[in-house]
Structure 1
Amino acid sequence: MIRLIVHRLLTSIPLVFVVTFLTFFLNSLAPGDLARTMLQGGGTEEQYLALRKQLGLDLPLLLQYWNWLKKAALGDLGVSFFTGERVTVLLNSRISVTVSLMIGVLFVCVLAGLVLGIVSALRGGLIGRAIDVLSMAGLIFPSFWVALVFIAVFAVWLQWFPATGYTPLRSDAKMWFLGMVLPVMSVALHSITNVAKQTRDSMLDVMGRDFIRSLRAVGISETSVVLKHALRNAALPVVTVLGLILVAAISGTVFVERVFVLPGLGSLAVQAAEQSDIVLLQGATLYFTLMTIGINLFVDLSYGWLNPKMRTR
């Protein structure tokens, strides 16, 4: 298992290089000139050239990337062009919001998805058909559209939850929870049906195997057969789906954070893109990449816990 983790980490290094360089390259193709933007169309030509040199924009693209990479390896992601704050400080102040959102999505997907999937596998009928319909609906309606509907219904009409804004957990736990319900459900709604479908299909496959019939034949209770033996064997494909959901949720949080005005990494990345703040956008991209790698590592560790054979690899 340790060798597998080390292998995953080593193979993730090229991913970091590729993603960060592509971000650098695409930023260089963006219209406009950062130095001109910062001077707000004013300033002399000498001031313009001096600012480009100060920002390192006069260097070749590969050299700019190399200089950034060397500093990033030491934990220095530079200074935001527009706020003047250190990028690591800005990102670290926002990451807790995004992580809270993703943990909430994971919790809801696991809890609701597993329950619906198990019930659908054992009972079938209406629940199974409802899962199929909702899964198709999730492909049609994106998370930001669901977020707008939730705001209209649950915040404006019923007034059960706040429409926008964020309250830190330490300030008011109740308001923090209420403020996170709609964003979490907006991202998780479609994912719940995916987890439920995968759980149902995996459970149906496992429940038809010989060892399940043998367990029933020796008198083991149905609850133990389902939860202890069948679910554990059916969980590996579900874990794979959960990993994909969390990776997709990273992009989903970008839109949801904007809709609900949450001060997370996604909204910060959009703000950086709107202001052409290349340094801040580059740092946000690195954080998102590391989060993706962390999710994949979490999936691998889950495989090892569910399947003892993988621990010996």
Structure 2
Amino acid sequence: MLGFALRRIAAGAVLLFVISFLSYLLLSIPDADVGRQLLGSAAPQDLVDAKNAELGLDRAVLAQYGDWLAGAVRGDFGTSWFTGEDVLQAIATRLPVTASLMAGVTLVTAALSLLLGVWAGVRRGAVDRFVQVLGVIGYALPGFLVTLIIVLVFAVRLGWFPAIGYIGLTESVPGWLSTITLPVASLSVVSVAGLSQQVRGAVIDVLRQDYVRTLRARGLPPHRILFRHVLRNAAAPALTVLGLQFVALLGGAVLVEQIFGLPGVGAMTVTYTTRGDIPVIMGLVMFTVLGVILINLVVDLLIGWLNPKARVS
């Protein structure tokens, strides 16, 4: 298992380097006069040139990337060109908001998908068709429409939750729950629709295996067969889909944080990307890629633990 984990970590490190290089190269293509944006249109050209030189924008792109990479390896991602704020500090202040949102969506998705998928896989017939219809509806509805419906019903009409705003977990637990519930619900609908179908299919496939019929013939209780044998073998494909959905949720968080006014990393991405603030954008890219790599590593390790054959492949 250790060698399996080390191979995954090495592959993640290579991926991190490649994406950082390509991202910096692509961000440097637009011909934006950052010094002019910072100093204003009325600033003399010599001051603008001096500002660009101060930021290192008068040098070759590869030289700029080399300096950025040297700092990033030491944990220094620089400062924002427009606000002067340290990049890591800026991300760290907004990270708990996005982290709580992602954790809530992941827990809700995993719990509801497991419940619905196993229920549909074991109880064939009306229950199975009901879960499949829910999955189709969840897939068919656009994410922004689901979010708007949730806001109109539970925030505007019923008034159960606030429509916008965020209260930190350290400030008030009930307040945090009230402000995070609707964003989590809006992101969970599509995720549950997809993952529950995957769990259902995996459970049905395992239940058709010969060894399950053998266990039944030996008189083992159905709940023991389900929880000890069926779920363990059906978990691997579901975990793979859950990891892929986490990547998609990072993109969905940008829209949801904008709609609900959450001061998270998603909203920060929109703000600094429109400015063309390369140090902050690169920090956000690295944070996102690192999060994806860590999630995939955890998923790979769990699959390797559940299925030893996966460690070899």
Both structures adopt the same fold (TM-score exceeding 0.5): yes
User: Which whole-Å CA distance do the structure 2 matches of 1:19 and 1:148 have between them?
Assistant: 34
**Where does the alignment leave 5 or more consecutive residues of structure 1 unmatched?**
none
User: Which whole-Å CA distance do the structure 1 matches of 2:288 and 2:127 have between them?
Assistant: 36
Question: How many angstroms does 1:150 deviate by?
Answer: 1.1
Counterpart in 1 of 2:47?
Answer: 47
Distance 1:139 1:60, change over 3 A: farther
Counterparts of residues 53-132 of structure 1 (less than 5 Å): 53-132=53-132
User: Which whole-Å CA distance do the structure 1 matches of 2:286 and 2:28 have between them?
Assistant: 17
Q: Is the 8 A contact 1:105 1:184 kept in 2?
A: yes
Which is further off, 7-16 or 155-164? 7-16
Identical residues among aligned pairs (%): 40
Counterpart in 2 of 1:271?
Answer: 271
User: Which whole-Å CA distance do the structure 1 matches of 2:302 and 2:22 have between them?
Assistant: 31
Q: Is the 8 A contact 1:98 1:265 kept in 2?
A: yes
SS state at 1:18 partner: helix
Counterpart in 1 of 2:241?
Answer: 241
User: Which whole-Å CA distance do the structure 2 matches of 1:231 and 1:2 have between them?
Assistant: 25
Distance 1:126 1:59, change over 3 A: farther
Q: Is the 8 A contact 1:116 1:127 kept in 2?
A: no
User: Which whole-Å CA distance do the structure 1 matches of 2:14 and 2:223 have between them?
Assistant: 46
Which is further off, 198-207 or 10-19? 10-19
**Where does the alignment leave 5 or more consecutive residues of structure 2 unmatched?**
none
Counterpart in 1 of 2:187?
Answer: 187
Q: So what's the TM-score if we normalise by structure 2?
A: 0.95
User: Which whole-Å CA distance do the structure 1 matches of 2:22 and 2:136 have between them?
Assistant: 33
Q: Is the 8 A contact 1:144 1:259 kept in 2?
A: no
SS state at 1:186 partner: helix
| Cα RMSD, aligned residues only | 1.7
SS state at 2:28 partner: helix
Q: Is the 8 A contact 1:109 1:191 kept in 2?
A: yes
Q: So what's the TM-score if we normalise by structure 1?
A: 0.95
Counterpart in 2 of 1:135?
Answer: 135
SS state at 1:290 partner: helix
Counterpart in 2 of 1:151?
Answer: 151
User: Which whole-Å CA distance do the structure 1 matches of 2:203 and 2:139 have between them?
Assistant: 24
User: Which whole-Å CA distance do the structure 2 matches of 1:138 and 1:118 have between them?
Assistant: 18
User: Which whole-Å CA distance do the structure 2 matches of 1:220 and 1:143 have between them?
Assistant: 44
**Deviation per residue, 1:189-235 (Å, 9 max, x gap):** 11112111111111111111111112112221111111221111111
* Number of aligned residues: 313
SS state at 1:206 partner: helix
Question: How many angstroms does 1:124 deviate by?
Answer: 2.6
Letter in 2 for 1:104: G
**Deviation per residue, 1:272-293 (Å, 9 max, x gap):** 1122211111100110010010
